Amino acid sequence: MYRRVSILLIVAVTLVACESTEGPDSENRFVRYQNGDVVSYGVVDGDVVWEIEGDLFGSYTITQNSFDIDNLEILAPTDPSKVIAVGFNYRSHLDMAARDLGTSDEVAQYPGLFAKYPTSIVPNGADIVRPVDSENLHFEGELVLVIGKVASNVSVEEAEDYIFGITIGNDISERDWQAADLQWLRAKASDTFGPVGPSIVNGLDYGDLLVQTRVNGETRQSASSADLIFDIPTIVSYVSRYVTLFPGDLIFTGTPGATQAMEPGDIVEVEIEGVGILRNQVIQGESH
């Protein structure tokens, strides 16, 4: 009886949140999963996932079908049409890049953007494959925005209305390729260079959450999203000036502090307060 009441409350709150133009006002957690040949979204209630019917980013209902989350294949949170990322968006990372990469330590006048391919996106638990010619592959733990409505040239004041929720990301980066190539295509958008997940959460204070990265259990990055140089509404508004964003699109907001090279066998965990833990292992790619 308790679980049924709990789910009915979740249904009511979720439907209000997805139809509201004021943005979510309570915390909800969603996963995208595969059960047999069917890919669906679900609402997470403890260890149970309740199937969603309809459009997560539009109108939907929560069905009576439920599954043990451990028995489902949890996929990347969305299947995005595009993945945008912001570089040098923490003072601590800007200082590191100036010291180690020789870039400027001056704060830019606007967010520095680059793209990752949707084919770089992999879910929680998937392997990060280090290409055979990679020698300097780094982690970058980040808060990732999930767009909920079509956004084109929106104002800073309106921007939060277009955010469905947040998830966790690891902006895998090959530093030698960043320095050597004309653009960051290889360095940022290679296959498996975008672990994301495991869930989407809304209703949190996105502007003040602890972001941490651990490698083999050792903390390597720790900062608050309050330390972003360009805050979340500014990022969404700025991106939407130039690129139309669609529901399910992802925006990586930047990484804090220093990053380091990873080796095959390393387990990288990115944790965001109130959201969860994204965990992936690095493996060595094969030559062809």
Domain boundary among 22, 56, 74: 74
| Residue 71 confidence (pLDDT) above 70 | yes
54 and 108 share one domain: no
119 and 36 share one domain: no
31 and 139 share one domain: no
How many domains does the structure of the chain reveal? Answer: 2
Mean residue pLDDT across the chain: 90
59 and 165 share one domain: no
What pLDDT is stored for residue 288 in this prediction?
Answer: 73
Between 102 and 49, the higher pLDDT residue: 49
103 and 204 share one domain: yes
| Residue 282 confidence (pLDDT) above 80 | yes
**Full-model pTM:** 0.89
148 and 248 share one domain: yes
55 and 107 share one domain: no
Portion of the chain with pLDDT greater than 90, in percent: 82
- Any idea which of 24-33, 56-65, 155-164, 256-265 has the lowest mean pLDDT? 24-33
Portion of the chain with pLDDT greater than 70, in percent: 87
132 and 66 share one domain: no
Its domain, for residue 69, covers: 2-74
What is the number of helices (H) and of strands (E) in the chain? 5, 19
What pLDDT is stored for residue 4 in this prediction?
Answer: 42
154 and 49 share one domain: no
pLDDT in tens, 153-205: 999 999 999 999 999 999 999 999 999 999 999 999 999 999 999 999 999 99
Output the domain CATH number for residue 219: 3.90.850.10
64 and 98 share one domain: no
134 and 246 share one domain: yes
| Residue 12 confidence (pLDDT) above 70 | no
40 and 129 share one domain: no
What pLDDT is stored for residue 26 in this prediction?
Answer: 72
Domain boundary among 55, 74, 93: 74
Domain boundary among 26, 55, 74: 74
Average pLDDT over residues 138-159: 98
